[in-house]
Each structure stands twice: as C-alpha cells, then as structure tokens.
Chains A and B, each alone.
Chain A
C-alpha cells in the first residue's frame, strides 16, 4: 500500500525555470493538499482540492498553480521559480470531513538557485 507518493524527491532549479511536482494517492481520498515546510514557519498550506475538479487557495498561493488531474493526482506547478520558493514540499490527502486524518507523502526537497 503506497499511500501518498510524491515525485521527485529532490530537485535543484535555477531562478526562472519551471517545474511540476507530482502527487498521487491510492487511498481513494477526495481531498488533497499541498504544503510547504520552512524553518521557523512550520507547515503552510499552498493550495487544496476538496474534490476532483475543484481547487482553492491556501495561506501562501502566490507563485504556484495546481491541477487536480483526477481523483488520484494533484500536481503543483512553479511557472517561474524564485529563491524564496526553496523549501520542502509535502502533498497530503484525506477523506472529506473534519475528523478525518491527513496522510502525508515523504516530501520533495526543492532548491532554487
């Protein structure tokens, strides 16, 4: 049972380059999320998707776009990477409902030079 799978695990970009972080879950979850983790800032929500075909902004959406390709997959795109986007990115998913646990992937470490 793979759970939440993120690719790639590591990436180095130059300022201005673009890339897409991929996320897939095999738990039949409806809701999917993208967070970034930075020292002293904790985990901050970038975008989330309550169901296939819907996406909403989180706390720090600027500079990112997302696509909920189907129920399993939720991708995060950086169109023009900036050094401020150097971070560890986590994808997560859960069933709908307030009392449902969030399951996380193992993260993507991104450096923008």
Chain B
C-alpha cells in the first residue's frame, strides 16, 4: 500500500510558466516532507523540504506548500526552465523512524 502518492505520472509545461507538482500521503504520522529531482542515469538529488509546523517554504524558484488537513503537498516552480525537465519525487518521514518513504514520481517536461 503506497503511503505517498503522486497521481500525475507526467506534466508538460511551457518555458516561463508555472509548474505545479502534487503529492498526497496517507500516514498522519508523517511530519517532514521533501522533494527530490532525478535526471536520467543519475541518482536523485535533494531539492527542497518542509516541516509539518510550516505550511510554506521557498527556495528561489521553488516553493513547497503543505496542507496537513488534506494530507497534500505541492511543489511550485516559477518560472519553469528547460533544465527543470526531470522526474520529481516527493518523500515523507515521521520523527520516530529513520526511513524516508518516496512517492511514485512525476516526469516534468519543460518545452521552449
């Protein structure tokens, strides 16, 4: 049973526009959430994170929003650039474990 889900397997966005990637989770014990980015033939790399005590965190063009009541988080990329084309994974963990649970991934394509 997938505890972290990304319901959109792919997303296509024009350069300069906003990309919105969504993630849902089922475990109410999760209290820390992360986004990772993955290029082909490489391992995932950390992008941005958010603690459950916040509802928003920004880092440059990337903003993550957390809605705890809906068990939903989203990643906004503004403006989108061709170099953002990659697979994006959301991940979650709870304070009492040492394991990070990943979602199914969304492939983002940014076209000129």
Number of interface residues of B (CB under 8 A): 28
Q: Mark A28-41, 1 if CB is under 8 A from B, else 0.
A: 00010101000011
Closest Cβ–Cβ distance, residue A37 to chain B (whole Å): 8
In the complex, are the beta carbons of A101 and B46 less than 8 A apart? yes
Q: A13-48, CB under 8 A of B: which get 1 and which 0?
A: 000000000000000000101010000111111001
With a cutoff of 8 Å between Cβ atoms, the chain A residues found around residue B6 in the complex are 42
State whether B102 touches A98 (Cβ < 8 A). Answer: no
B99 touches A33 (CB 8 A): yes
Contacts A41-B104, A42-B89, A98-B93; A104 near B44 (Cβ below 8 A): yes
Cα–Cα distance between A26 and B1 once the two chains are bound (Å): 34
Contact A58 B99 (CB under 8 A): yes
* With contact pairs A42-B105, A99-B32 given, residues A105 and B100 touching in the complex (Cβ less than 8 Å): no
B105 and A106 within 8 A (CB): no
Q: B49: which A residues are within 8 A, CB to CB?
A: 99
A4 touches B103 (CB 8 A): no
Q: Once the chains bind, are B43 and A45 in contact (CB under 8 Å)?
A: no
Contact of B43 among A31, A99, A106 (CB under 8 A): A106
Q: How far is the CA of A106 from the CA of B42 in the complex (A)?
A: 5
**Pick the contact of A42 from B32, B51, B104 — CB < 8 Å?**
B104
Residues of A within 8 A of B99 (CB): 33, 45, 48, 56, 58
Is A74 among interface residues, defined by CB-CB distance under 8 A? no
Q: B70 an interface residue at 8 Å Cβ cutoff?
A: no
Tell me the residues in window 3-42 of chain B with beta carbons closer than 8 Å to chain A beta carbons.
Answer: 4, 6, 9, 31-32, 34, 36, 41-42
Known contacts A90-B44, A107-B41; is-contact A45 B9 (Cβ 8 Å): no
- State the Cβ distance, A26 to closest chain B Cβ, in Å: 15
Mark interface residues in A79-113 (1 if CB within 8 Å of B CB, else 0).
00000000000101000101101111111000000
20 A-B contact pairs sorted by A residue (CB < 8 Å): A4-B43, A40-B9, A42-B2, A42-B104, A43-B91, A44-B102, A45-B99, A45-B102, A48-B98, A48-B99, A50-B98, A98-B31, A99-B32, A99-B49, A99-B51, A102-B46, A103-B46, A105-B43, A106-B43, A107-B41
